[in-house]
Structure 1
């Protein structure tokens, strides 16, 4: 009986190890290593991939938007000054949307760096400070608006006391609150089919899912996981990537399936880049990292 139990236990152990390896390799490419591309920045944030797989990210303290060229792994300055940009996202016309924190605005930037300011106030009040952005299938824009006091602001309190999630209609003519009652909404990402929006409330250390309606409004708020996040992303299997202590990956059911350790005090954001959208691009403190993946990012 003892022999049978030991044998059975050995089988279970083997299955467990094999399962863990399979789980890991199903997300991260086998033998892939986290690569530090650069550590020359002050605080990196807001990575966003264009249609060619190049990734743009911000160095907010130094007021820059930097471009990582996916073809040759090189870095160059795209825009400086950059409105103290934080979160970034590309719209369907390959224009870069930026949460321009300096004057609490949302920008749309063309390939030549020309700026179109989309919004700076709501109901006559200055926004708290747009933070992260996601664009839906119709071209409507969701953005989170927490409040983080900045040393470069003259004001010391928010005009809008609530920390909301807003939606700009595809024609850019209407702005509405679509999620409220949040402590400090931060990361935001939607599913490829445009049906679910995830919002990380870093203030209460939870991440929620919402059902997206045809008019862009949100319903059916549900707790996705009891972990908050700074920035976040999604892959083509529907897995959600949360940041803070490295990168923690959850499947669409809210079960943790993997953790990517990053040797930094804080991991701020994450996205997919590269020609095939199979490179995980991570911003953490003053550094940027890449990791080869077996899953792909989502590009419309």
Structure 2
């Protein structure tokens, strides 16, 4: 035994206890041979030291201020609710997106894109249920000033509105006779118009349907876009660049931001006074022939005639040398921009980044998952909801969202 002494009974017992401890709440399973089975558990945080459990039933933090809410600039201290902690409200999505708050019903809905459903979280008891299925692989959602739900559908390549009587109105599905790519995010304007982005991400098998054979997202024609789809789906191909559009109250669809100005546009939102429009440019999508987006945020001035001008880079979203790719955007009443962050494998930088109106980083919220989109909600609109990869998170803040939904 190479000079080593045989293990004592005590050593064997310690070894066994160590093994059981290592697998958490695992249990010995009897069968043809004994094996260790681990009971499901909430994944530990990968960003906080000491580790924490974000789940509703997890142990509370032992801090007065949440250790994963970081003030980069002292001004952000004024927006932090000191005795509020980040909580994981639910987990179980394949890719969570498009959170939107219904003020009258006091519920949050969001999209689970690959599962082709919309989910709903009730504020009164935290109950989560399927709200709409199928959802046509919906992505971004919002509520307009009349309380009607707006949804961007990847599968049908359109923007729809759910009316108060339960009917559905198609707001946009084409521009100048050509089908849209896959509308991504939509926001209402007080003048009755709706503004939305149209990148190509719904051209993936995972989140929608690829083009027909020979189309930009199916050039080799090996993919069958009709598999698993209802009749009529999987028969079109990408025809338009990645643009942003405005749906006039009359129903007319106008081009407002071109692909040359903001490639692969994703999240968008207005400033509180509606004199600015922020648009996130994300990475290259399926079928893109150009360089695609660079994961940054642009801002435009909005004229009284709804024309945009003075395009400029708001932020490149690089923090400590890490690219914190933006997706969904929301403004608070003070004009600060709250952006979801996808930092990939750069642990500790995914979550939410907060920028003042001049484009200076003032704060960060760290999540143990990539964050796709955010919105403000709650009865006082002072709770930030974060749709992050497989889960839904929330935290109270000391400000309010500037827009409904």
Deviation per residue, 1:89-138 (Å, 9 max, x gap): 11121111100111101010135653211111111111111001111121
Relative to structure 1, the CA distance from residue 21 to residue 145 in structure 2 (aligned partners, 3 Å threshold; closer, same or farther) is: closer
- The aligned residue for residue 184 of structure 2 is 131
Contact 2:280 2:297 in 1 (8 A): yes
CA–CA distance in 1 between the matches of 2:159 and 2:144?
Answer: 13
d(CA) in 2 for partners of 1:200 and 1:21? 23
Q: Aligned pair 1:86/2:139, yes or no? A: yes
Gaps of 5+ in 1: 1-18
8 Å Cα contact 1:146-1:186 kept in structure 2: yes
Give the match for residue 372 of structure 2.
268
Q: Judging changes above 3 Å, is the alpha-carbon distance between structure 1 residues 170 and 112 closer, same or farther for their aligned structure 2 residues? A: closer
Cα offset for 1:295? Answer: 0.8
- State whether structure 2 residue 279 is matched by structure 1 residue 199: yes
Q: Is the 8 A contact 2:297 2:313 kept in 1?
A: yes
**Is the CA contact 1:71–1:274 (under 8 Å) kept in the aligned structure 2?**
no
Match of 2:85 among 24, 33, 36: 33
> RMSD of the TM alignment (CA)?
1.8
1:173-230 Cα shifts (integer Å, max 9, x gaps): x111101112211010001211111001112222111111223221111111112511
Query: Is the partner of 2:372 in helix, strand or coil?
Result: strand
For the residues of structure 2 that align with 1:254 and 1:24, how far apart are their CA atoms? 14
Task: Decide which moves more: 52-61 or 29-38.
Answer: 52-61
Q: Please state if 1:219 is matched with 2:309.
A: yes
CA distance in 1, matches of 2:362, 2:181: 34
Task: Evaluate the alpha carbon distance shift between residue 81 and residue 162 of structure 1 in structure 2; reply closer, same or farther with a 3 A threshold.
Answer: same
| Residues in 2 aligned to 1:177 and 1:59: alpha-carbon distance in whole angstroms | 28
TM norm structure 1: 0.88
**Does the CA-based 8 Å contact 2:140-2:152 persist in structure 1?**
yes
1:121 to 171, 174, 192: 174
Show the counterpart of 1:146: 199
Listed as ranges, the gaps of 5+ residues in structure 2 are 1-70, 217-236, 283-292, 318-324, 343-349
Partner of 2:396: 292
- Aligned pairs (5 A) from 1:1-300: 22-52=74-104, 53-111=106-164, 113-148=166-201, 149-151=203-205, 152-155=208-211, 156-157=215-216, 159-172=238-251, 174-180=252-258, 181=260, 182-202=262-282, 203-227=293-317, 228-243=325-340, 244=342, 245-264=350-369, 266-299=370-403
Q: Is the 8 A contact 2:376 2:401 kept in 1?
A: yes
**Contact 1:67/1:76 (CA < 8 Å) preserved in 2?**
yes
Q: In 1, distance between residues paired with 2:360 and 2:200?
A: 30
Q: 1:284 to 1:112 in 2, by over 3 A?
A: farther
C-alpha distance in 1 between matches for 2:111 and 2:167: 17
Which gives a bigger RCO, structure 1 or 2 (Cα 8 Å, sep 6+)? Answer: 1
Q: Which residue of 2 aligns with 1:13?
A: none
The structure richer in strand per residue is: 1
